[in-house]
Structure 1
Amino acid sequence: MRTAFTELVGVRHPIVQTGMGWVAGPRLVSATARAGALGILASATMTTERLRAAVREVKSRTDEPFGVNLRADAGDARERVRIIIDEGVAVASFALAPSKELITELKDAGVVVIPSIGARRHAEKVAAWGADAVIVQGGEGGGHTGEVATTVLLPQVVDAVDIPVVAAGGFHDGRGLVAALAYGAAGIAMGTRFLLTSDSTVPDAVKARYLAAGVKDVTVTTAVDGLPHRMLRTEMVAALEHAGRARALAQAVRRAAGFRRTFGIGWSRMVRDGLAMKHGKDLSWSQVLLAANTPMLLKASMVDGRTDLGVMASGQVAGLIEDLPSCAELVERVMAQAHAALGALPPARGAPGGGTGQRRGGGDDARRV
């Protein structure tokens, strides 16, 4: 299934595995790439040394293209960009809108730049700055998310920009891929669905919590870092939501100390990062500290298996997922479902010779396939 996205990044299928912290490591990314989709390494939870090693590990496992996700507001963002360029990574993905200068630096080196955005105006901004494509996440998506549903946000963005749009938030199967294509997207991005594969390194007990969750067990809370964060409803989330300011601050300081030890970051840098995050936002200092070390809350669950001490970012689709296929099985299944869904559509009125009426070719039309 050729689309403008597959042509842009050189993958066989219009599917992206998102850069989930502590989840999207070399094993998952290389398995996704071998399956013909675009795997994206999550670098925000890696030191720069670990990032370089992870990139080389993926390249030792596959010759297929893959990407690296990074935070544009990180103090060492330019160093991470340099690693992406030096190591010949095909795609740079950003959790926040990168600056025009970063986009230019990457594009001049031949790297495809695909920021993730959650609003039409952000898509317009990065498109004007030269981004090659955008991933647009609706409110159904896991982690930090917005209030606008994918079915409303996606067509807004498709109509606003002239670059390939990849839809995220609420996707887990081939029917969703066909729906996204019908809206004008050039592919879909999935996080929770790839987290729940046999290639994911997330502990089995944590995967079991996801599989047992219903749609109503996925909630949005601001208690973690003051920003809307979609995750599984757990005892830990409830404790954060009901903790008083003093208790929340004590918990935040304790976890910040752990974050500092793990990443070798000094308190002064954490304070600077906290001030940057607090700027323009109504955050308490406990929320600022939690925002600075949210990666440790995710690590507790995604790496250590301590769901009682950590949080589990999750899209609403967790309530629909029931199994743990390999990445290869998942991608093959999604594509088979998509082709079946296309074949089951009634003929478009007036379409000669019947058929689905869907545009499925490449070339100039592929961007809107």
Structure 2
Amino acid sequence: MTRQGRTLTELLGIKYPILQGGMAWISDNGLAGAVSNAGGLGIIAGGSLSAEELQTEIRRIKEITSKPFGVNIMLLSQNIEDQIEVVCREKVPVVTTGAGSPSRIIERLKSSGTKVIPVVASTALARRLEKQGADAVIAEGMEAGGHIGKVTTMVLVAAVASVVKIPVIAAGGIADGRGLVAALALGASGIQMGTRFICTTECSAHHNYKERVLSSNELDTVVTGISTGHPVRAFRNKLTRKIEELERQGNGVEAIERVAIGGLKRAAREGDLNFGSLMAGQSSGLIRDIKSVSELLEEIIGEAEEVIEVLGGIKRW
């Protein structure tokens, strides 16, 4: 049992305290199903999927696995109401949310039996969502890929774990067993990884995207969109440089969105290294191979157990 009460694995009915992040155009039923079958919690990215598309993804994953899975709902999506209706109708076990506060939808999701796990970037939001019924929270640091907050994972996880009693899941900058142990030391009950799962055999992302991750180091990503209030971390390329130029010139959200629109699809499906939005976290600098999801999870757990054993033998100071 953890400080928060029930362990994360007990809460979600999974073997390992590892969640796979919901990455638009990447986290489909194939990847999510493989993660769930391997003992983690696979998550389908709702992204901008239509209700029909999301329903198809959910029904396909049910054919792949009988184990718990989740759906990630981006609160900025124009299809959010339709997606919630599908999630409730299909009795999805878990929903994670991102890009905002899910306050207005928590009760509706929980009434259908769905566990709700929002991404938070501050202690204030974590406290509020706990009171409103969130089952757990994902404390995601600025090292993560995609939409990010302002606080590092090390500080945010420890801060959030200190103010809530529900399980805290650490995200941002984690790609191996060492990261899992570090997260537990900070007070988390488990981890969520996104970038690491791109480099798995079951991930449908274009091979150019995977190779970009494998060839990168911890300094190869850049944060753009700060002036819009929705900063994004991605690999530096012609698209990010264009966005940076627009920001320097004082252009607003609309001008930046015109350039960025379709970038995720170009990256994940077409492998466009120049004008694709190659979202990735700083953990990409730790990733050096492509392996199956089951091999990855077993490796992470094995490494974590080795680290814990070593730490147990360290003399106290």
Same fold (TM over 0.5): yes
Given candidates 322, 325, 335, the residue that maps to 2:291 is 325
Given candidates 265, 289, 302, the residue that maps to 1:336 is 302
Q: Is the 8 A contact 1:25 1:41 kept in 2?
A: yes
Structure 2 residue aligned with 1:287: 256
Q: Is the 8 A contact 1:19 1:69 kept in 2?
A: yes
Structure 2 residue aligned with 1:204: 207
Structure 2 residue aligned with 1:314: 280
| 1:55 shift after superposition | 0.3
Partner amino acid, structure 2, of 1:195: I
| 1:134 shift after superposition | 0.4
**Per residue, is there more helix in 1 or in 2?**
1
| 1:241 shift after superposition | 2.1
Structure 2 residue aligned with 1:300: 266
Structure 2 residue aligned with 1:264: none
> Does 2:178 correspond to 1:175?
yes
* Residues 113-143 of structure 1 deviation map (CA, whole Å, 9 limit, x = unaligned): 0001111111111111110000110111111
Structure 1, unaligned runs of 5 or more: 250-282, 351-369
> Does 2:59 correspond to 1:56?
yes
Q: Matches of residues 177-326 of structure 1 in structure 2 within 5 Å? A: 177-222=180-225, 227-243=230-246, 283-287=252-256, 289=258, 293=261, 296-326=262-292
Q: Is the 8 A contact 1:225 1:290 kept in 2?
A: no
Structure 2 residue aligned with 1:136: 139
Structure 2 residue aligned with 1:103: 106
Q: Is the 8 A contact 1:22 1:45 kept in 2?
A: no
Q: Is the 8 A contact 1:16 1:188 kept in 2?
A: yes
* Residues 288-345 of structure 1 deviation map (CA, whole Å, 9 limit, x = unaligned): 5457x3xx11100111111222110110011111001111010000000111111111
Distance in 2 between the 1:298 and 1:166 partners?
25
Distance in 1 between the 2:292 and 2:233 partners?
25
Given candidates 62, 72, 75, the residue that maps to 2:75 is 72
Distance in 1 between the 2:279 and 2:201 partners?
18
Q: Is the 8 A contact 1:139 1:148 kept in 2?
A: yes
User: What's the TM-score, normalizing by structure 2?
Assistant: 0.92
Distance in 1 between the 2:209 and 2:22 partners?
18
Distance in 2 between the 1:337 and 1:155 partners?
22
Higher mean C-alpha displacement, 112-121 vs 229-238: 229-238
Change (3 A) 1:203 1:76: closer
Q: Matches of residues 83-162 of structure 1 in structure 2 within 5 Å? A: 83-162=86-165
Change (3 A) 1:245 1:345: closer
Q: Secondary structure at the match of 1:100?
A: coil
Greater RCO (Cα-Cα under 8 Å, separation 6 or more): 1
Partner amino acid, structure 1, of 2:280: S
Q: Secondary structure at the match of 1:92?
A: strand
Distance in 1 between the 2:138 and 2:48 partners?
20
Given candidates 6, 9, 18, the residue that maps to 2:9 is 6
Distance in 2 between the 1:161 and 1:177 partners?
20
| 1:45 shift after superposition | 3.0
Structure 2, unaligned runs of 5 or more: none
Change (3 A) 1:335 1:318: same
Partner amino acid, structure 2, of 1:131: A
Distance in 1 between the 2:234 and 2:103 partners?
32
Aligned length: 313
Partner amino acid, structure 2, of 1:176: G
Structure 2 residue aligned with 1:272: none
Q: Is the 8 A contact 2:48 2:79 kept in 1?
A: no
Q: Is the 8 A contact 1:224 1:240 kept in 2?
A: no
Among all aligned residue pairs of Structure 1 and Structure 2, give the percentage whose two residues are the same amino acid. Answer: 36
Q: Secondary structure at the match of 2:39?
A: coil
> Does 2:315 correspond to 1:346?
no
Given candidates 31, 41, 44, the residue that maps to 2:44 is 41
Partner amino acid, structure 2, of 1:346: G
Rg comparison, structure with higher value: 1
Superposition misfits of 4+ residues, deviation over 6 angstroms: none
Partner amino acid, structure 2, of 1:342: I
Change (3 A) 1:232 1:224: farther
| 1:177 shift after superposition | 0.7
Q: Is the 8 A contact 1:225 1:288 kept in 2?
A: no
Partner amino acid, structure 1, of 2:193: M
Q: Is the 8 A contact 1:224 1:290 kept in 2?
A: no
